[in-house]
Structures are given as C-alpha cells and as structure tokens.
Structure 1
C-alpha cells in the first residue's frame, strides 16, 4: 500500500507524547499523568472524551513510554471468552497494557472479567469512552482506575495540527498548500483531529502537484459538502441511517427496519443508542394504539445494556420487528406538543379553586378544594366537572387516532362531551 492510500491521520500519528496536541492539562511538563510516566509508573486509566482527540494514540504511547506490551481490543467485537484469553496469555509477559476502545459498551460480565485481572495486577487497563464513565462503567472498576478527561481540540490546536500536516506530510508538501482562511476548517473539524486531517487530505487531493494551492473557506465548504460521508461517517451517515431505521418502523416495514439496523450495527453504532431510539419510537409512533410496545422497548433497552454485543443483536431485532408490525398512532405525540405550545402561551392562568390542594385551614377558608367532585363517588366513577381554567374551556388537545384500542378509551370523553352539550 502506498503512503497516499494510508489515511492522513494514520500517516501523521504521533510517535512521542510530546507530539500530542491539545491535551497539555494531562501531558504537559507539570501535568499529573506526564509526571507519573516520567517516574515509570502507569496506573489503570479510563480516558473520557469526544472522538478524534487521541485516546488510542495516547494509550499506545503511554505503554511505549514505560516499555510494556500493548494489546488493543474493541468492545464492539470482544466477548468474555476473548478477554479471558488475553488475560491468560498475560501471565507469560511483562504486565501488558490492555487498551479497550469504547469500554462503555462492555456489559457487566465483561467488566467483571476486567475487574479481576486489574485487581490481581495481571493487566494495566486503559479504557476509552465517549460516554460519562460514571454512568457506563461499574463503580468497582472505576474505583481501581484513574479517570482522565480529554478535551476537544480548540481552534488554535486545530490550526497547529493542520499546519503541522502541511509541513510534514510528503503528499501535502507536493501541493504547496497555503491556508488563507481557517474558519471553515475549524467549523467542520468541530474539535476532532481526525476530521480535520481527513478534510485537509481531501482538499489536497483536489489540487495539482508542484503548483501553489490556496485554501479558502469557499473551497473547504465545497469539498466538505461533496465528501462529508467519506471523512465523517459518524456524522451525516450516522443520522441518515437512524432516520431510515425509524421511518421504516413508522412505515410498518420490518424487513427495511432490520436492514437499516444491521447497517448501523455493522458500522459500529452503539446498540444502546439503537435501543434508545426504539424506546422513543414506541411512544411517538405507536403510543396508545399498543401500549405494550413501550414496555417491550423498555425491556429491550435494559437488556441491551446488560448483555451487550454480539448477543444483544437478537433482542434488538425482536424489538424492531415487533414495533414495525404493531398498529401505529401518533395521537399522544401530537397532543403533548399542542399542550406544551398552549402552556407556553397561557402560563399566567390560575388553577381553578376546586382543583387546588388545601393542606391548611387558611387555604380551606379561601375556597381551595371547595366544590371538587370526587369521581369515585359517582356511578361508573365519572362526574362532569371542569378541569381546565375557565379561559380554556372546550379546548381539545388529544384526538384519538381511531384505532381499536384508542376508540375503546373514548367512551368517557364522548360522555363528557354529550353532557357538556346538554348543559349549554
């Protein structure tokens, strides 16, 4: 493979901790992590930070700095069996540094396997996560690791990174690139070193060699919009895939729902994210036409968190098919949106006296709770009374979707409407 076929972020991967940009709070001369490394000490660590800030690279360089073997694993495709094999092999090595990318995707049994190895000193763990480890990593494992937060790269760091690439990379050197404007580069990079380097590499590929080429905001926008999926598969493509998935569920097509889900899983999408989206769809698109959908989606969400990949794909698939083949209704989704809009406009309206709570004698004397009619004291546990402020009397926010289950629930609403008509 030629150098130009290797992605620019890989071609320019730092070879020493001093080359890391944007993380001086951890790796600067007086920073705590750097001081430990200079003393030859490397504890187990969880790196928490956004994508493209150097978590993997820093982990590798830390292992090299203390002259320890380095084993890299991904939580996406590593099970308990693979973990135990790595741990068992570590007995024949100098204590290895085991790096686990996306450690937040490990389920409880996988994290427990790590905990035992860390406690016994069989491995030094470095985990990387984009999620808050307080929520996604069990407390016992967290207590045995140092937690370090990595920052998204600031504007100056992105500029420094791009200028370094132009000066050091042979392919970019041949294009004689002059950066006239950084604004668009910084905006599209969004603090992500990988995005920044992939974008300048794309731009350079549109230039001729051995002539001066100037980079302006207009050029950056044009190239980025034409190639965004190529340099940022977690951006637009991420949202396109999940959009297709949810719309397939909404459109009652289980085959398409399974296909788009499989695309997301193959692309490395977090299964918890997929389960969370189905939990929303169960209420937004199915609602009271089938309340069991929300219960199933909720159990799917909890099961995916507990089990993890690859087994949780089965649970995800079951839930997706159930939601896609369920009756559909967005009546409550529309109703709550109407209610929020109305509440925004009428937040000054007082609660009617008969609906107010009256915990004190003074409140009772002022009429709080007076004339309230307790529905359970009346036939069929129903009595006609007003529950909205007088100014909103007759307002309708909820409209049944006319499916079987919601129509059954309309009986009291119809009775209320009929009695109101009789009183007028």
Structure 2
C-alpha cells in the first residue's frame, strides 16, 4: 500500500520499502518487481512511542486560611498532532480536524488542537518535604522525598481525577504510616496523606502503562512534572516540648579561675595554654556541650540553637554556636544554662521561624525586702538551617535549644556565693 493509506500506530510493526522514481513518471510502479534485489530492500520498523507525556492540567481548589487545601483536580495532559493520531488513530484525526475548523471560524478564541493523552492511564504522585538549608539528606533543590504513589485517571480521558488531601498532625512525619501508598501502579486509591506544619511539595506527572512494546523506554512513559506547594498550619501543636528532668532543664555553673601559684622565673617562652579556654571547656562539660577553644557548639548529630545574655559573645548567623569574646569573664559568675528540646523532626516549620523568649526571676528567700520580679533576658530564634555538627550521624527527631544567662552574685568573705 502507499504511505497515505498506511494507518501508522504506536506499538505496531511495519515493513517499509523505498524506491527511486523518475520525476517525469518513468520509474517503476508499486507492484513492479525489482530488476535487481538490493542487500536490504525491505526494512522492519517497530513503531514505539518516544514522546513522553506533557504536564497534566492542575486545578487547585481555593485554599482556606489555614492552608489545608482539601483537594485538587488533575486532567490528563494534552496530546497534539501527529502523536495523537499515532496513539488513537482515526477518531483522534477527526477530533483534531474539528478543532482546527473551530479555530478557523473563531480565530480570537483559537486554542492548540489536542486531545487528552489516551496513553496515560495513571498519575504518578511524589510527596516531598522542605528540609532546612544545608541538610545533607535534601536534594539539590532543598527537598526530602517522603513517598511516591500513583492514582488511576478516570476511564473517560476527558474527565479529571479528583485527588483529595488527608491532612494529619505528627511530631515526626516518619511516624505516619504511608505503606498503603506503596502499592502497584494504578491500584492505589483514596486521599493523599499530608502532614501539617511543614512545607509540602506534591509533584504530579502523567504515567503511561508499563509496556515497552509500546513505549520506547521507561523515561518515555513518565511525563513532565508539575508541582503544587502547600503549607497547612496545625490547629494546635500538641506536646511540642519534651519533658526533661529539672537537672537538665536548668544547670547553674559557678566557675572560678585556677589559683595562681608561685611566680615563675622570667622566660622568653610564651604560654600556649589559655586559661579562658579551660573555663569554656568546663562549662561545656557541665552543660553537655562541645567546646572548641572559646566556642560552644552542640554534640555531633544534634541540631541546636543558642541564645546568650550578659556575656560578651559572637553568635553564628544561624545561632548554632557561641564564641565568647572574653572567656575569662566566665569566672566569678553564675552561668545558668537553660535548655529545652522540641519534640519535632527537622522538617517542622510551625508558622515560620519559631522564637523562644527567656525570662528570669532571682529570689533570695527570707532576705529582707525580697520581691523578685520577672525580667526578659533574651530569646532564641530557630533558623531553618542545619549546623555543621548536625550533618554527621544526624539525630533528626528533635531540636535542642540552649540559653546561657550570667549574673554576678553577692559573695561571702570566702569568695563564694
């Protein structure tokens, strides 16, 4: 048959023969036998689909004030000529011609002729959570994959898939059971589990059937990705603070410099041991922290944020460490180390950058005129970043907040408070 009569369709096999003909019509006809057979006069072609699906059409419902969108409607991606005809045959050709005629009749409202892609029976859905900056578990764009699942499109290609969202609250998103979302392609149904108080990214892509006699490769089955970004605020944060023993919630440390011994002989050698660094080291041991000369840091694998009052210091931009400008001023003061532990995984964002305000009240029970009052001494702001120490053997299920507050107490004749 001639090329015009061939019904070219994906997934079928065809034999092709090409002949050279005289432009004046003096060449061989289609039915003439060749005078001399070539090495390969006929070629076999298995016509597969190499063109991946385009982006699905996403229609997100109105988002309420708390950000918890209820659902989204997703329609199969459009497929234009000639791929539409290769996929659906004569009915697709007729539909495209009808759309072209409608465009010619109303040019002002013309749209590209296309049909819903008939080769995409499923929607692949990938749910990701935004990770803090510098989180080693995140991808190049700062997201951590939670799970990947799929949903079947309606049998009618023109009908949208109504994908509902199931918003849940959890201290750690890994506590939510998503095993039911890991079924075979096209067999999973129901609402999509999402978690509140996190930045959510839902990536959707049309997915062709797993038939490599039809699609040229696995990559040709998977369409272009569209993304929906959401953040639902929790109605109430239940038990966000870990209950710690009193000895861990507040530790008061009184540091004294090493006593001076007999005067050493004059020497040109410069002392290498800084007594101020020794004070920082003692403070770190008492507070379950790590010291690096004049700097305090968290333990390995621990995400931490510091605050400090009444001590000369330099804080890291993300508050993940404190460096004392004059470590010797630690001596002769009560250094109160208050700490709290957030029972939330690292992807937790709350409603932005959570801030903890620290207040202090000093009381001398029984002292004349003792009327203690609360005073604001500082705050800790939790930045959405990960400190260097936390990137190795990460403990991702909690966040530690530490505040150092110093004050000089009255001392007795023995030099002690």
The interval holding the TM-score normalised by the smaller chain is under 0.3
The alignment's TM-score, normalised by the length of structure 2, stands at 0.23
Instruction: Give 1 or 2: higher strand fraction.
Output: 2
Instruction: Give 1 or 2: higher helix fraction.
Output: 1
Query: 1 or 2 for the larger relative contact order (CA 8 Å, sep ≥6)?
Result: 2
The alignment's TM-score, normalised by the length of structure 1, stands at 0.23
Structure with bigger gyration radius: 2
